[in-house]
Amino acid sequence: MDTVVKFTSISQGKDRVFSATQFACALSTHLLRSNSQRKELVAKLKIVEANISAGRKLLKLGNAVNSVEAAKRSLRLSDRVLCLCLTAANINRALSLICDNVLWARSVGLIRDINQKSWSLTSSRCYFLAVIMNVTRDLYVVLQLMMQKAKDKDFKQKMSLHLSENPEVAEVVIPQLDAFLFLLFESLKSHPAVALDTLKNVCDLFSPLDRLGIYPSNAGVVAFCGLVSSLIGIVTIAKPTLNIKP
């Protein structure tokens, strides 16, 4: 089991690189789609995107085991909110990956008698629930950080100074809103790992929202959000201190 988890951890880094390349190709294709002089380039980009997508599905084989192990670890968390959010997120991610594995087996001919549309829809739903739980965890952590920051005496002085130096802002914007935004900004500024994880999970929402028809958007928006999420994933793997814990 440890060997499988170690292998999937290594493959996740490769998957992030391939994911960034795939979404970069998709975004370029969307931006160049109306350029008649770039039709050949667009066709090549589509081929590269399709090949990378197929390769990523192969890399994801076994990642469901990693998600199950992560769910087991999150069950031991003392914070009930974090325990619920992370466990639910990991379980739904594991289910989504299992569906993706079945779809991959169908695409290569290992399995035939399955409803491909139904499995794909189930995968998107599980992935959507996983991301929702991750976003909920992020919001909970941000609120905790804001509450801690608000009790800090040095921060109270800094906020008072900020409001006194920007009287025109206080006149135009609701003072309470300005104070809230300043508190939010300072909390995220002092915890970049939380800020990056929140941005990443918000970007991850656009793909399942579009697939499930909850909030349809064009291919360019989905590709851009996917690219941002992938780049953040690469950064957090390259620099573990920027990876949110737990």
Asked if 232 and 196 touch (Cβ cutoff 8 Å), the reply is: yes
Residue ranges per structural domain of the chain: 2-151+191-242
Q: What is the mean pLDDT of residues 172-190?
A: 80
Distance CA(5)–CA(209), nearest Å, equals 30
pLDDT of 7 reads 45
- Is the pLDDT at 9 greater than 80, yes or no? no
* Contacts of residue 63, Cβ cutoff 8 Å, sequence gap at least 6: 8, 11, 12, 97
Around Cβ 57, how many Cβ atoms within 10 Å? 16
Report the predicted TM-score, pTM, of the whole model to 2 decimal places.
Answer: 0.89
pLDDT at 166: 62
Instruction: Report, as an integer, the average pLDDT of 221-230.
Output: 97
More confident residue, 17 or 130: 130
Please state, in angstroms and as integers, the Cα–Cα distance from residue 183 to each residue in 154, 157, 175, 218, following that order. Answer: 12, 12, 12, 34
DSSP code at position 37: G
pLDDT interval class at 242 (50, 70, 90): very high
pLDDT for the residue 4? 47
Structure-block tokens of residue 32: 């160049």
* pLDDT tens digits, 20-53: 999 999 999 999 998 888 899 999 999 999 999 8
Which of these, 148, 126, 6, lies nearest to 66 by C-alpha position?
6
What distance in Å separates the CA atoms of residue 142 and residue 233, rounded to the nearest whole number? 19
End-to-end alpha carbon distance in the chain: 21
